[in-house]
Structure 1
Amino acid sequence: MRFIGLLILSINCCFAQQNSLRFSLNESGSQYFQFTFLNQVWLRYNQNNPGTTVEGDLQKNTFDIGLRRTRIQMFGKITDRAFLYFQFGQNNFNAQYNSNNGNRKVAAFFHDALCEYSLTSGNELKLGAGLTIAAGLSRFTQPSISSILTMDVPVFLQTTVDQTDIFSRKLSFYARGQLGKFDYRFILSDPFPITSAGTNLFTINSDATFAQKRHNLQQQAYIIYQFFEQEPHTTPYMAGTYLGKKKIWNIAMGGIYQANASWHLQNNDTLYQPMQHFAIESFLDMSLNSKKGSAISAYLGYINTNYGKNYLRYNGIMNPANGTVLNANNSLLNNGPVYGNALPMFGTGHIVYAQLGYLIGNKNEKVKGKFLPYASATLAKYDKLNGLATHTFNVGLNYLMNGQQSKITLDIQNRPVYAIENNVIVQTERLNAVTLQYQLFL
C-alpha cells in the first residue's frame, strides 16, 4: 500500500509542477527523478567559402535545414546525497551529416553518464565521476544549451570538441562545490585518443597537431567569485542567461593542462608539447526593471589557448557542404575542412570574446512574448595566421514566447575567409550566414 501511495504521489507531483516531468521518490520530494526534452531546429542561408562543393557540385550559396541539438536529460537525487545524471541525443544533423562516411543513421549517443555524491548536506563539496562535461577554462566550456543568450555558444571554448572528447564530454573524476561566495571545480580527465575521433588524422608536420602517442591525463580547474547570488548547482552545466530572474555578477578564472598533448616535426625530430589554456572572465545577468520585466545579460572574457606550435583547426557548425575544389597550395586545407561555413575556430593564440543582450520589458501582463536582442564578437589572433585577425561577429533577436521553453531566434553572422597567395596567408573577403532557429524545451 505504501508503494501505491508513493506512486500516486509521484504522478500527482509530476503533473502539479508546471512545465516539469518530475517524479518524487519520497513524500517530501527531496528525492526525485526528472526528464527534460529539447529540440533546436535551424533553417539557414549561408554564403559558402570559395571552392565549396555539395555532393561534388560547386555551390556559392546554400540553404539547409537541420537539427542543431536534440537532447533528452534524465537526472535526479536518488538519495538525499546521491545524484544521477544522463543525457542522450544528437547534434548537427542535416542533409550532410556523415555524408562522407556514408551512414546518416549513426547519430544519437550518450553525452553524459554521471554519478555524484555530496559529502555535505549542502553544496560545499560534491564528488562525481563518469562521462561528463564538467570542465575548467570557462562557463562556456560547459554551457547549458537550453538557456543560451545568443543563438549558439562560442564553440571555440570547447577546446578539444570531437578531437579528444565526445562532443566536449570526457571520462572524468571531479570535485565541485560552493564555499561562501566562491564556486569551484577541479577535474581530472582521461581524454580519448585522437586516433578514435572518427575523422582523417593529420600527418605529422612542422605545425602542432594532437599527438597519436604518449597518452596523458588532463587536469582542469575553474574558480568563480560571486558578488551577489550564487548560481544554481544541480548539474555541472552553466546557464547562458537567467532572463533577469537572478542577480548574478561574477569573475572567474580557469585553465586546462595536458602534458604531451600535441606533436610536430623539427629537423626531422618529433617534438611533443603540452596543451595549456587559460581564461579570465566576467559574467553579469540581472533585472533592470522588475515591474516591466527588463533585464541585461553580459559576458567578457580573455582566453589564451596553447595547443602547441602554430596549431590551427577549421570548423564549421553543422556544415552545409562536404567538399572543396581547393588544395593545400591555395587554401589552409591542411588545417581541417575549409568548405561551407568553416572558419579558423581553434588555434594557439589569444582571443577576446564578448556578448551583450537586453531583455525588453513589457508592462502589459497579457502579452506573454518578449524580445531579447543580442550581439557577440569573437576577436582572435592565432599564431599560424601570421598576425591576421580572425574576427567573427553575430547579431540577433530572440522572441521568447514562453521564456526559453519556446523561442524563435534570428541570427546573422559575419566571418572572415583566408587563402594562400604566393605562399603567403591572406584574408580575401568576409561572408555571411543567416539562421532562423526554433527551440522547444520541456
Structure 2
Amino acid sequence: MLKVIALLVLTSSTVLAQTRASDDNTKNDIRYNLNNSGSHYVKVTFTNQTWLRLNDNNPGTTVLSNPENQTFDIGLRRTRMQLFGQITDRIFFYTQFGMNNFNKISAFPAYNKAGNASNRKVAAFFHDALGEYEVYRKGTSFVRFGGGLTIVNGLSRFSQPSIGTIMTMDVPVFAQATVDQTDIFSRKLAVYSRGQIGKFNYRLGLADPFPVETSGGVPAALGVNSVFAQKKHKKQIDGLLIYNFFDTEDNTTPGYMTGTYLGKRKVLNLEAGFITQKNATWRREGADTLYSSMNLWSVAAYADMPLNKAKGTAVSGYLGYFSTDYGKGYLRYNNSMNPATGTTQPIAGVSGTHGNAYPMFGTGSVIYAQAGYKFKDGLLGSQGTLMPFASLQSADYDRLTDVMNLYNVGVNWLIKGQNGKLTLNYENRPIYKASTVPNELAKDGRKGAWILQYQISI
C-alpha cells in the first residue's frame, strides 16, 4: 500500500495508457496502472484557481462593518483534488475533495448566522464520492449505473461543468440551480444512469436533496415569495439528452462536461434537460401556506471545433434557453466569492444584496450565450497562445421590471493549455432598488469588476 501511495504522489510520467476511444484520459499524468495495458488504473489530479479582483461594490456595501465603495481582494475560487480510477473493466470510482470561494471573509458569515466563533481553517469538504458499474459496452457505446454524492444531473452541461477546462472566467452559476440551498455546492446524494448510445449521450437521475436548514445559513423566512420549503421533503428527478453530430465527448468521469477542448475535438451538440421536484418551495398567501413544484428545463447548442488543425486555431460557442420555475416570486441574489459582509441599504424581499451580488436565480427564463476564439499555437512563442471570449446571461425574472443582463469579456493566456493559464476578465452587472411596483425590483445603474485568475491544473 505504501508503494502505491508513493507512486500516486511522485509519478508524473508513467506509461501512456491504452484506454477507451471516447475518453481523454490518455496522457502522461499522476497515475498508477493496475494492469499492463493501463486500462485499469488509479489517478490523481489537482487544480487551483487564484483570483485577484477589483470590485465596484453595490450601494450600501460594508466589509467587516466598514463602508466600502470598492474592494480589492485575493482569494481561492477553487482548490480541488480528485482521486478516481477504473478498478476492473466494469467498476469505476470517483472522489473529489477541496474548497471554494475562500477569501479573507469566507468564514465571517458563520459568526453572524450561528452566533458562534468563526473558523477560517474549516473550508474543505468532499464534493464527490461515488461508484459506478458498467452493464453494457460495444465500441464507444456504453451504459453505466452509479450512486453516491455526485454532481450528475439533468439541467444542462453547465449544471455539471469541468472546472479545469472552463473557457470563460467562471461557469454560469445560475445553471447550478439549487447551489448551496438543497445541495453541497451542486452535489446531491443520488442514484443515476449515464451512457452513450451511438450519437446520443444521456444521464438520468433520482436525487435526495438536503434540507435547506443544513445549508450553513439561516433559511429564508416564509413570506409572500417562494423560498425553499422546510417541510414535505420530496425526491428530485432529472435528465439530460445530448445528440452528438460529430465527435463524442469525454466520458471518463461522471458529470463534469468539458468547457472547451481547445480544438482537440470536433464537437457539435444539441441538448435538452430538466430537473423537477414536487413541493420544493413554499410561500404564504393570507393565512395559507402554499407549496410549489420546482420545474426547470433547458435546450441548447454547443460547438467546439478546430478551424485550422495545422495552426491550432479553434472556436467554441454555446447558446441555451432556460425555463426556471421555482414557484411564484422566487428571486435569489448571489455571485462568486463575495468580498463583502453586509449592507446599509437592504432591499425588501431579497437578502445578500451586498458586494458583487446580483439577481442570479429567479422564476422566469434565461438566455445564456458564450463564444471564444483560440489563436494559433505558439502565438507567443514558447509562452503559449491566447483565447479571447465573451459571455451574456440575459434573465427575464418575474420580480424584475427589466431584463437582467450580465456581461463578461476577457482573454485566456494559455501558457500550457488548461494546465497553466492566466485569465483576465471584466464583469459588468446591473444593480437594483425597490420598484414603485410592490414586490418588484427596478434597475438602478451598473457596476463592474476586474478579475485576474491564475490556474494550475495537473
Structure-2-length-normalised TM-score: 0.91
Find the aligned partners of 1:254 and 1:395 in 2 and give their Cα distance: 27
How do 1:51-130 and structure 2 match up within 5 A?
51-101=60-110, 102-122=118-138, 123-130=141-148
Shift of 1:369: 0.6
Q: For residues 135 and 419 of structure 1, do their structure 2 counterparts lie closer, same or farther at Cα, with a shift above 3 Å needed?
A: same
Per-residue deviation, residues 75-120 of structure 1 (Å, max 9, x unmatched): 0001111000000000000011021212212100000001000002
Q: How do 1:208-247 and structure 2 match up within 5 A?
A: 208-235=226-253, 236-247=255-266
Deviation at residue 316 of structure 1 after TM alignment: 2.2
Q: Residue in 2 aligned with 1:40?
A: 49
Alignment of 1:217-366 (within 5 A): 217-235=235-253, 236-327=255-346, 331-332=347-348, 334-362=349-377
Q: Hey, what's the Cα distance between the residues in 2 that align with 1:406 and 1:416?
A: 32
Residues 10 and 30 in structure 2, CA contact (< 8 A), matched pair in contact too: no
Q: Determine helix, strand or coil for the equivalent of 2:137.
A: coil
DSSP-derived class of the 1:150 partner: coil
User: For 1:176 and 1:315, how far apart are their aligned partners in 2?
Assistant: 31
Contact 2:9 2:30 in 1 (8 A): no
- 1:109-188 aligned within 5 A: 109-122=125-138, 123-188=141-206
Residue 25 (structure 1) aligns with:
34
Q: Tell me by how many angstroms 1:267 deviates.
A: 2.0
1:407 to 2:407 alignment = no
Which amino acid in structure 1 is aligned with residue 345 of structure 2?
Answer: L
For residue 41 of structure 1, give the secondary structure of its aligned residue in structure 2: strand
**Segment of structure 1 superposing worse, 183-192 or 22-31:** 22-31
* Aligned-partner Cα distance in 2 for 1:8–1:58: 51
Instruction: Note the residue ranges of structure 2 that are not aligned, 5 or more in a row.
Output: 17-26, 111-117
Q: Closer, same or farther in 2 for the Cα pair 1:366/1:408, shift >3 Å?
A: closer
CA distance in 2, matches of 1:409, 1:96: 23
Alpha-carbon shift at residue 367 of structure 1 (Å) = 3.4
TM-score relative to the length of structure 1: 0.95
The residue type equivalent to 2:321 in the other structure is Y
Task: Flag the 1:357–1:9 CA change in 2: closer, same or farther, 3 A.
Answer: closer
**CA distance in structure 1 between the partners assigned to 2:7 and 2:443 by the alignment:** 65
Aligned to 2:407: 393
Task: Give the direction of change, closer, same or farther, for the CA distance of 1:37–1:268 in structure 2 (3 Å limit).
Answer: same
Q: State how far apart, in whole Å, the 2-side matches of 1:28 and 1:396 are.
A: 42
Q: Across the two proteins, how many residue pairs are aligned to each other?
A: 434
1:431 to 2:430 alignment? no
RMSD over aligned Cα, in angstroms?
2.0
- The alpha-carbon deviation at position 139 of structure 1 amounts to 0.0
Query: Does the CA contact (< 8 Å) of 1:67 and 1:93 recur in 2?
Result: yes
Report how far residue 200 of structure 1 moved.
1.2
Runs of 4 or more consecutive aligned structure 1 residues displaced over 4 Å after TM superposition: 7-14, 16-19, 362-366, 421-424
> In 2, are the aligned partners of 1:262 and 1:274 still within 8 Å (CA)?
yes
* 1: CA distance, partners of 2:259 / 2:80: 17
SS in 2 for 1:374: strand
CA contact (8 A) 1:264 1:272 kept: yes
Of the structure 1 ranges 276-285 and 363-372, higher mean CA displacement relative to structure 2 is found in 363-372
What are the superposed Cα offsets for residues 182-223 of structure 1, whole Å, 9 maximum, x if unpaired?
Answer: 000100000001111111111111110000000100000000
Distance 2:144 2:282 in 1: 36
Question: For residue 374 of structure 1, what is the amino acid of its counterpart?
Answer: F
Cα distance in 2, alignment partners of residues 233 and 326 from structure 1: 47
Residues in 2 aligned to 1:197 and 1:4: alpha-carbon distance in whole angstroms: 40
Tell me the equivalent position of 2:115.
Answer: none
**What secondary structure is seen at the aligned counterpart in 2 of 1:125?**
strand
Inter-CA distance 137–432: structure 2 relative to 1 (3 Å threshold): same
The match for 1:441 is 457
* Worse-matched range after superposition: 30-39 or 94-103: 94-103
Indicate if the aligned counterparts of 2:8 and 2:44 stay in contact, CA closer than 8 A: no
Distance 1:50 1:73 in 2: 40
Does structure 2 conserve the Cα–Cα contact (< 8 Å) formed by 1:70 and 1:89? Answer: yes
Please give the secondary structure, in 2, of the residue aligned with 1:100. helix
Question: What amino acid is the match of 1:41?
Answer: T
Q: Is contact 2:212-2:229 (8 Å) kept?
A: yes
Aligned to 2:212: 194
1:336 CA drift (Å): 2.5
Shift of 1:425: 2.7
Is 2:14 the partner of 1:15?
Answer: yes
Paired residues of 1:9 and 1:24 also in contact (CA < 8 A): no
2:114 — aligned with what? none
* 1:343-369 CA distance string (max 9 Å, x none): 000000010000000001147795351
